Structure 1
Amino acid sequence: MIRSLYIRVVLTFLVSVIVGIILAFIITFLVFRENLNENLLDKLLSFGQDIVRIYETMPEREADWFVAEMKQLDTYHIRIYDENNEFRSFGKLGEQSPAPVSAEQIKNVRNGDIVRANATKEYTGYLGMPLRTESGTKALFVQPLVSPYTSFNVKWISTFLIYSLVIGSLLILAASIFVVKPINKLTKATKRLASGDFNVRVNIKQTGELGALARSFEEMTHDLQHLEQMRREFVANVSHEVQSPLTSISGYAQALKQVNLAEHERDRFLDIIIAEAKRMSKMSDSLLKLSLLESDSHSLRFTERNLDEQIRRVIVALQPQWTARNINFELDLQAIKVTADHDQLDQVWMNILGNGIKFSEGHGTVAVSMRQVHSDVIIRISDNGIGIEPEDQQRIFERFFKADRSHGSKYEGSGMGLAIVKQIVSLHKGDIQVESKPGEGTTFVVTLPIHPAEKHR
């Protein structure tokens, strides 16, 4: 089995050239076979006329001797029939048999006709013409010793094949190097990529299929590099998020071992340990939920419900939070029914509204509006809180990213909420955008199709 692409290209070319030449020759031969026969008969006629002139200008005996010594007898065989249909032959046929001549053909020739016979598989063609001698009119038949087809085939095919193979082989060797070179580059780059080197570049400037393959490879390399960076950040973030509560739990557990620890201090330490354990449990649950949302195993359960009523119920469920901070709500909600997994959408509104409450100053306002635009519904949730820095707005949907890091531990959270929101909205074939100015507030714009299945058929 041939595994080298280089050898495959060369062999494919050679086979194609040989088969193409043979087919071209066969077709050409069939097309011009009649012309070949005509050329042969013309040559026989010309040679026969030369023989006739010899007998017309010389005595018969001298003419016989002259014809017997002609060099053309290496190529032609001559038969001269008398009135008794007996013949004298000039030239040697070798292994070839003389073409059969009928008595009628001999008679026609002696009567002045010219008889032509094309070549067959068994015999070469021949020509008969009258020959006037001193002893009377005789029949002259001229037959070539070698088939014109055989001569033509051997010379033409051998010459053409040799030149074609030599020139074609040199060209394909050069061309295949040009073709295989970028593939070798891609092979080496793939090996480097497999070893973990994501900075590999192939630098292939060709167009066409190889160029497209090279560009796709570089795009894949860029994506893998980005994924590797995300993986490292994810591991670092998980390690950091887990290490903090573990350190607290370990430290306060050690403190609980003190014998003379006051009861109220012991209760406070236990409350901290319980809170940190809940924090770890919540983070683990968020990771598991996001993993399920990103996997193919998660399937949405679509039902049709009023989206405005759902948002109102979520706001009511969050009442303890916004009441404690004296947050006001401004609602402008159209009555719109949406086909969606409303259990999942509950988490979207919980996270976004919860963030609006958490990051708003006391006595702030959270505005919620909803409008239908064509086959989509657009929900805007705005607060007048601390806002988000421009460089952070592109990353707030990444897992573990916290845009409020400058505020220390003032705002609790694992940084997983908006990542989950983004994934749920994407599963509904929707989109979420953020508009924010530091110190002026933040607006989340969620766009959802009213009927996802119909919109994306």
Structure 2
Amino acid sequence: MIRSLYTRVVLIFIVSVIGGTIIAFFLSTWLFKEQLNENLQIPLLHFGQDIVRIYEILPLREADTFVSGMDQLKSYYIRIYGDTGQFQSYGTLNGDEPVTVTMEQVKKVMAGEVVQVNPNGIATTLLGLPLTTEMGINAMFIEPIAPPSSSFIKKWILNFTTYSLIAGSLLVLAAALFLVRPIKKMTKATRHIAGGDFNVKLDIKQKGELGTLARSFEEMTHELQQLEQMRREFVSNVSHEVQSPLTSISGYALALKQKDIEDNERNRYLDIIIAEADRMSKMSDSLLKLSLLESHSQQLQLVTFSLDEQIRRVIVAIQPQWSARNIRFDLDLEAVSLMADYEQLNQVWTNILGNSIKFSMNNSVIKVSIKKNTKNVKIQISDTGIGISLEDQKRIFERFFKADRSHSRKYAGSGMGLAIVKKIVTLHQGDIRVESQPGRGTTFIVTLSITTPTE
């Protein structure tokens, strides 16, 4: 099966030209059949009749002399047969073999019949006429040895070429419709997509370049549909996340307008307003950070540093979070030098460790380990906290997603941290996954390449 569009076009063109030429040949032959007959048969008959009259008027010897000197012998070859089958010829065939004349044809002509050998229905290749001389009745056979007149040939070739071009063009147009139909379908589908309708089906079953293009187009449509759905969810989530702190700020600000409010209540309201404003600020910073990462406008600042030392520094930096709850760390950190963006990976460990602390029980242990091989380094951070359900694990890295919504107020956050973590790890050509069971803790596994990531 031919799959290449280039091969199809070439073959269609060749078939169209050959088919058009054949059609034009038969059409021209059919249309000009009478003219061809007139041009090829009638002059031959007239010439033969002239020879017959010459032998009727002149004596045999003078007639032979006259015929042998005729200029028309350049175009005709004459044979005159007697009743014995022997013949006398006039003219030359220029090396060609003469048409075979049978004794049956000779007898028919001598009996007074006119014999025409016409194999293709147009050009007569042999004409037999009865010839009466002083010696009795003979059979004269004439065959043309020269092409038709040049003027007719030019006219016939011109018409043949014209019909050939017309027929070939019509065939090419018909074939082009077959090739262009799927492209028209994709054009129509593009208009629907531009109008916001992503529910389009091309139903193109062709293979090759057009089939590949159609399937890629359908995949693009599906991805655009998902992107549009994500955009709507994003707008909905942002509106929801912003609405909650704004409602709190507005409510407590109105409460502060009361004149008889006590100082401790006023301070509590102010603390809530400050906390909600800080939450909105952090969410705004997270959105900006994620937007920069996704647009690739923030380039990786690659430096070589000690990964195990970086994680130790992060743990020390967030000591107030874990020491207040008497949480301990069990470290198994293999010494690893890594070339990566120090600040971005610092944010990765801060977010993951911060979540582990947030969702761990008091007096629990968080395990952190680093293992490396020749190509990769694997970092595992495990806690014994509340865990994540299997259904929530599938969406844990989506923006604004919060696994434990029943405790969303208790465990404050915007749901942007792990989305940022996922993007940073992806930019470093790494991988992050989560293993968790509700009530038994969660493990985040980050795999990074020891080789330099491509920006």
TM-score, structure 2 normalization = 0.70
Q: Matched residue of 1:447: which SS?
A: strand
Instruction: State the Cα deviation string for residues 148-173 of structure 1 (Å, max 9, x = none).
Output: 8877676567447636743x455444
1:441 aligns with 2:441: yes
Distance 2:394 2:149 in 1: 83
Instruction: State the Cα deviation string for residues 44-94 of structure 1 (Å, max 9, x = none).
Output: xxx9xxx9xx99x963433467x4xxxxxxxxxxx83xxxxxxx756999x
Contact 1:431 1:446 in 2 (8 A): yes
Q: State the partner residue of 1:357.
A: 357
Q: State the partner residue of 2:382.
A: 382
Letter in 1 for 2:313: R
Instruction: State the Cα deviation string for residues 203-243 of structure 1 (Å, max 9, x = none).
Output: 21111122111111110011001101110111111111111
Q: State the partner residue of 2:220.
A: 220
Higher relative contact order (CA 8 A, sep 6+): 2
Contact 1:17 1:165 in 2 (8 A): no
Instruction: State the Cα deviation string for residues 406-429 of structure 1 (Å, max 9, x = none).
Output: 224111100000011011111111
Which runs of structure 2 are paired with 1:39-118 in the superposition (5 Å)?
Answer: 59-63=60-64, 67=67, 80=69, 89=71
Which runs of structure 2 are paired with 1:335-374 in the superposition (5 Å)?
Answer: 335-374=335-374
CA shift in 2, pair 1:90/1:16, >3 Å: closer
Pairwise CA distance, 1:377: 0.6
Instruction: State the Cα deviation string for residues 114-153 of structure 1 (Å, max 9, x = none).
Output: 8969xxxxxxxxxxxxxxxxxxxxxxxx997756887767
Q: Matched residue of 1:452: which SS?
A: coil
Contact 2:74 2:92 in 1 (8 A): no
Distance 1:335 1:282 in 2: 33
Q: Matched residue of 2:446: which SS?
A: strand
CA shift in 2, pair 1:143/1:208, >3 Å: closer
Contact 2:389 2:437 in 1 (8 A): yes
Pairwise CA distance, 1:401: 0.5
CA shift in 2, pair 1:390/1:90, >3 Å: closer
% of aligned pairs identical? 61
Q: State the partner residue of 1:208.
A: 208
Distance 1:149 1:90 in 2: 16
Distance 1:89 1:340 in 2: 101
Letter in 2 for 1:162: Y
Provide the alpha-carbon RMSD of the alignment: 3.8
Contact 2:93 2:145 in 1 (8 A): no
Pairwise CA distance, 1:375: 1.2
Which runs of structure 2 are paired with 1:10-409 in the superposition (5 Å)?
Answer: 17=17, 59-63=60-64, 67=67, 80=69, 89=71, 155=156, 158-159=159-160, 162=163, 165-166=166-167, 168-169=168-169, 171-409=171-409
Pairwise CA distance, 1:364: 1.4
Instruction: State the Cα deviation string for residues 282-326 of structure 1 (Å, max 9, x = none).
Output: 111111111111123211111111100000111111111111112
Distance 1:284 1:171 in 2: 63
Distance 1:252 1:237 in 2: 23
Contact 2:402 2:408 in 1 (8 A): no
Q: Matched residue of 2:315: which SS?
A: helix
Give ranges in structure 2 of 5+ residues lacking alignment.
1-8, 26-46, 76-90, 96-142
Letter in 1 for 2:322: W
TM-score, structure 1 normalization = 0.69
CA shift in 2, pair 1:261/1:147, >3 Å: same
Q: State the partner residue of 1:35.
A: none
Contact 2:304 2:337 in 1 (8 A): yes
Distance 1:115 1:429 in 2: 86
Pairwise CA distance, 1:21: 6.4
Matched positions, count: 357
Q: Matched residue of 2:309: which SS?
A: helix
Q: State the partner residue of 1:425.
A: 425
Contact 2:387 2:440 in 1 (8 A): yes
Pairwise CA distance, 1:359: 0.6
Q: Matched residue of 2:187: which SS?
A: helix
